[in-house]
Amino acid sequence: MELDWWHWIILGLGLGLLELAVPSFFVIWFGLGALLVGVAMLLMPTLAFSAQILIWTLASVAMTVLWFKVLRNDGNKTQSGQADAALGEIGILVRAVEPLGTVSARGEVRFQKPIMGSDSWPCLADEAIAAGERVKVLAVDGQILKVGKI
C-alpha cells in the first residue's frame, strides 16, 4: 500500500472535522498525528509505509498522553459535594466563633481557594476563637464546618 503526503493531510483534516461532529477532544490528536506524517512525507517522500504508521501512532499517542496527563489542568476545579476534601483545610476566621451553646456561637471562616464550591463557610468550635485567627477544619456537618485552632 502506498500513501502520498496529501492522503495524510486529508486524513488529518477529516479527523479534525470528525472532532467537531463528535466533541470528545480525543480524535483531534490522531488528526494532528496524521498532519504531522503528511508534513514528514513532504520532507522525506520515500518514507516507508511502516514508518508512516509508526510515526502516526507514536505522535497520536504522545499528544493524547501529553494533553490528558500534563497540559490539561483539573486541579483548580472545586470539589462540590466532597466533604472529606475539606478536612484539614486551613482558613482564617472573618467572624469570631464562640463555644457551642452560646447565643452567637456561629462564626465564619474564609479559605484562600474555594472548597466544596465556596470560599466562605459558617463554622462552629468547642472554644472561643477570635476573628483573624487561623483555624483548621475538623469536621463537616451539612452546611456548617467544625473548626479548631491550629
Q: What's the pLDDT score for residue 103?
A: 65
Q: Are 78 and 114 in contact (CB under 8 A)?
A: yes
Q: Tell me how far apart the alpha carbons of residues 28 and 8 are, in angstroms, rounded to a whole number.
A: 14
For residues 2 and 39, the model is more confident at 39
* pLDDT for 75 beyond 60: no
DSSP output for 104-141: T--EEEEEEEEETTEEEEEEEBSS-B-TT-EEEEEEEE
What does the mean pLDDT of the chain come to?
88
What sections of the chain are H helices per DSSP? 5-21, 27-43, 49-65
Domains of the chain: residue spans and CATH: 5-71 (no CATH), 83-149 (2.40.50.140)
Helix (H, G, I), strand (E, B) or coil at 24: coil
Give the tens place of pLDDT for each residue, 82-130.
677 788 999 999 999 988 766 667 999 999 988 888 889 999 999 999 9
- Entry pTM: 0.52
**Residue 26 φ/ψ region, left for φ over 0, alpha for ψ in the -120 to 50 degree band, beta for the rest:** alpha
Q: Tell me how far apart the alpha carbons of residues 54 and 57 are, in angstroms, rounded to a whole number.
A: 5
Q: What's the pLDDT score for residue 117?
A: 82
Helix (H, G, I), strand (E, B) or coil at 147: strand
Residue 81: band (very low, low, confident or very high) from pLDDT cuts 50, 70, 90 = low
Give the tens place of pLDDT for each residue, 128-137.
999 999 999 9
Q: What's the pLDDT score for residue 52?
A: 96
Q: What is the mean pLDDT of residues 61-65?
A: 94
